Structure 1
Amino acid sequence: MKRLNVAAAAIALLCASHEYIHAQAPINSKSSWQMQPVSIQTRWAKNVNPQNVLPEYPRPQMVRNQWQNLNGLWQYTITPKDAAMPTQFEGQILVPFPLESALSGVKKPLQPTQRLWYKRTITKPDITGDKRVLLHFGAVDWQATVYINGKEIGGHTGGYQNFSFDITDALQDGDNELEVSVFDPTDQGINPHGKQVLNPQNIMYTASSGIWQTVWMETVPAAYINNIRITPDIDKGNLKLEVITAGKEREYSVEAVASNGKKVKGKPNTQLLLPVPNARLWSPDQPYLYNLNVKLLYKGKVVDTIGSYFGMRKIEVKKDEKGMERIFLNNKYTYNLGVLDQGFWPEGLYTAPTDEALKFDIMAIRNMGYNTIRKHIKLEPARWYYHADKAGMLVWQDMVTCANDKAEAKNEFEKENKENIAQLYNYPSIVTWVLFNEGWARYDQQRLTEWMKQTDPSRIVNGHTGENYDRGAPEDSKKWASSDLTDIHDYPGPGIPPALPGKARVLGEWGGVRVPTLKHQWNDMEGWGYIQVPASAFKAKYDSMVKSLKSLEEKGLSGSIYTEPFDVETEENGMMTYDREVIKIADEDLRKIHSQILKQAESYAAAPGVFQAKVADTANPDLQYATLLQQFHNGKKDPEFVRDLTLMAVRLKDDKSVPDLSAAYINSMSDPFTFRNMTFINRFTRSTKDPGFNILFKNQQKAGELIGDDNVRNKIKSVVFNDEIKAYVSGPDANPDWNELEKKIVPKYGSPGEEILLNAKAIHYINHKDWNNFVPAASTLIDKYRKSVSSGMLNDFAWAVFENVSDTSLLRSALLWSKYSLEDEQVPMMMDTYANLLHKLGNQQEAIKWEQKAVEGDPRETVFKDTLEKMKKGEKTWN
Structure 2
Amino acid sequence: MKMSTLNEETHPTPQFTRGEWINLNGEWDFAFDDDNQGEKENWFAKHSFDKKIQVPFTYETKASGIGEEKFHPYIWYRRSFEVPDHVQDQRTILHFNASDYITKVWVDGVFVGQHQGGYTRFSFDVSDVLQETEQHELVVKVEDSDSCAQPRGKQRWIAENFGCWYVQTTGIWQTVWLEFVNRAHLESVKITPDVDTSSVAIEYLIEGVDANRGLTLKTDIQFKGQPVKSFIQNVDSSSSEIKIKMTSDVEEWKLKLWHPHHPNLYDVTFTLYEGEKELDQVYSYFGMRKVSIENGKVLLNNSPIYQKLILDQGYWPDTHLTPPSEEALIEDIDRTLEMGFNGARKHQKIEDPCYLYWCDKKGLLVWSEVAATYEFSDEAIDNFTTEWMEIVRQNYNHPSIITWTPFNESWGVKQIFNQKKQQRFTESIYYLTKAIDDMRPVIVNDGWEHTISDILTLHDYEELGSALYKRYEDKEKIVTNSVPHNKDKYAFAKGYEYKGQPIIISEYGGIAFDEGRGWGYGHQVTTEEEFFKRYHEITQAIKDLDYVSGYCYTQITDVQQEINGLLTEDRKPKVDLKKVREVNK
TM norm structure 2: 0.85
Alignment correspondent of 2:575: 585
Indicate which of 536, 544, 558 corresponds to 1:551. 544
CA distance in 1, matches of 2:568, 2:88: 53
Structure 1 residues 527, 489: closer, same or farther in 2, change over 3 A? closer
Give the deviation of 1:62 after TM superposition: 1.1
Alignment correspondent of 1:145: 104
Indicate which of 439, 453, 463 corresponds to 2:444. 463
Indicate which of 120, 136, 161 corresponds to 1:176. 136
Alignment correspondent of 2:307: 336
Give the deviation of 1:418 after TM superposition: 0.7
Deviations 1:242-278 (A, max 9, x none): 1211112422121111114212222452111122123
Task: Say yes or no: does 1:311 pair with 2:287.
Answer: yes
User: 3-state DSSP class of the match of 2:433?
Assistant: helix
Name structure 2 gaps, 5 residues minimum: 248-253, 414-421, 480-497
Q: Is the 8 A contact 2:441 2:454 kept in 1?
A: yes
Task: Say yes or no: does 1:447 pair with 2:428.
Answer: yes
Indicate which of 207, 224, 227 corresponds to 1:246. 207
Give the deviation of 1:534 after TM superposition: 1.7
Indicate which of 502, 505, 509 corresponds to 1:504. 502
Give the deviation of 1:543 after TM superposition: 1.4
Indicate which of 265, 276, 280 corresponds to 2:232. 265
Give the deviation of 1:224 after TM superposition: 0.8
Structure 1 residues 111, 541: closer, same or farther in 2, change over 3 A? closer
Give the deviation of 1:189 after TM superposition: 5.0
Indicate which of 28, 47, 52 corresponds to 1:92. 52
CA distance in 2, matches of 1:530, 1:568: 17
Alignment correspondent of 2:584: 594
Letter paired with 1:299: G
- Mapping of residues 369-518 of structure 1, within 5 Å: 369-442=340-413, 443=422, 444-467=425-448, 479-492=449-462, 494=468, 496=472, 498-499=478-479, 500-516=498-514
Q: Report percent identity of matched pairs.
A: 33
CA distance in 2, matches of 1:302, 1:81: 50
Give the deviation of 1:453 after TM superposition: 1.9
Q: Is the 8 A contact 2:216 2:272 kept in 1?
A: yes
Alignment correspondent of 2:485: none
Give the deviation of 1:327 after TM superposition: 0.7
Alignment correspondent of 2:265: 289
Structure 1 residues 465, 121: closer, same or farther in 2, change over 3 A? same
CA distance in 1, matches of 2:115, 2:88: 30
Q: Is the 8 A contact 2:87 2:180 kept in 1?
A: no
Q: Is the 8 A contact 1:336 1:371 kept in 2?
A: yes
Structure 1 residues 199, 117: closer, same or farther in 2, change over 3 A? same
Q: Is the 8 A contact 1:490 1:507 kept in 2?
A: yes
CA distance in 2, matches of 1:382, 1:210: 18
- Mapping of residues 600-749 of structure 1, within 5 Å: none
Letter paired with 1:453: K
User: 3-state DSSP class of the match of 2:389?
Assistant: helix
Structure 1 residues 527, 486: closer, same or farther in 2, change over 3 A? closer
Indicate which of 559, 562, 576 corresponds to 1:571. 562
User: 3-state DSSP class of the match of 1:450?
Assistant: helix
Alignment correspondent of 2:488: none
Deviations 1:550-577 (A, max 9, x none): 111x1x1112111101111111111111
Letter paired with 2:499: P
Deviations 1:616-659 (A, max 9, x none): xxxxxxxxxxxxxxxxxxxxxxxxxxxxxxxxxxxxxxxxxxxx
Structure 1 residues 538, 267: closer, same or farther in 2, change over 3 A? farther
Structure 1 residues 511, 579: closer, same or farther in 2, change over 3 A? same
Q: Is the 8 A contact 2:510 2:520 kept in 1?
A: no
CA distance in 1, matches of 2:270, 2:540: 48
Structure 1 residues 93, 246: closer, same or farther in 2, change over 3 A? same
Q: Is the 8 A contact 2:148 2:373 kept in 1?
A: no
CA distance in 1, matches of 2:177, 2:563: 36
Deviates more, 1:133-142 or 1:58-67: 58-67
Bigger Cα Rg: 1
Q: Is the 8 A contact 1:231 1:241 kept in 2?
A: yes
CA distance in 2, matches of 1:128, 1:331: 48
Structure 1 residues 128, 97: closer, same or farther in 2, change over 3 A? closer
Which of the two has greater helix per residue? 1
Task: Say yes or no: does 1:67 pair with 2:24.
Answer: no
User: 3-state DSSP class of the match of 1:152?
Assistant: strand
Give the deviation of 1:315 after TM superposition: 0.5
CA distance in 1, matches of 2:165, 2:87: 50
Structure 1 residues 535, 258: closer, same or farther in 2, change over 3 A? farther
Give the deviation of 1:156 after TM superposition: 0.4
Deviations 1:760-814 (A, max 9, x none): xxxxxxxxxxxxxxxxxxxxxxxxxxxxxxxxxxxxxxxxxxxxxxxxxxxxxxx
User: 3-state DSSP class of the match of 2:160?
Assistant: coil
CA distance in 1, matches of 2:81, 2:161: 36
Q: Is the 8 A contact 2:215 2:272 kept in 1?
A: yes
CA distance in 1, matches of 2:152, 2:179: 29
Indicate which of 157, 164, 167 corresponds to 1:203. 164
User: 3-state DSSP class of the match of 2:534?
Assistant: helix
Count of matched residue pairs = 519
Letter paired with 1:544: E
CA distance in 1, matches of 2:313, 2:541: 25
Q: Is the 8 A contact 1:127 1:219 kept in 2?
A: no
CA distance in 1, matches of 2:37, 2:88: 41
Give the deviation of 1:306 after TM superposition: 1.0
Q: Is the 8 A contact 1:124 1:171 kept in 2?
A: no
Give the deviation of 1:127 after TM superposition: 6.0
Alignment correspondent of 2:33: 79
Give the deviation of 1:129 after TM superposition: 7.4
CA distance in 2, matches of 1:392, 1:528: 30
Alignment correspondent of 1:562: 553
User: 3-state DSSP class of the match of 1:465?
Assistant: coil
TM norm structure 1: 0.57
Letter paired with 1:20: L
CA distance in 2, matches of 1:513, 1:19: 44
Structure 1 residues 110, 300: closer, same or farther in 2, change over 3 A? farther
Give the deviation of 1:110 after TM superposition: 5.6
Structure 1 residues 238, 110: closer, same or farther in 2, change over 3 A? farther
Q: Is the 8 A contact 2:511 2:520 kept in 1?
A: no
Give the deviation of 1:488 after TM superposition: 1.4
Letter paired with 1:166: D
Task: Say yes or no: does 1:109 pair with 2:85.
Answer: no
CA distance in 2, matches of 1:267, 1:559: 46
Q: Is the 8 A contact 2:407 2:444 kept in 1?
A: yes
Alignment correspondent of 1:827: none
Deviations 1:61-100 (A, max 9, x none): 1111111110000000001353134322121100000110
Give the deviation of 1:463 after TM superposition: 0.9
Task: Say yes or no: does 1:532 pair with 2:521.
Answer: no
CA distance in 1, matches of 2:65, 2:521: 31
Letter paired with 2:560: E
Deviations 1:169-199 (A, max 9, x none): 11123011100000111x3353101101142
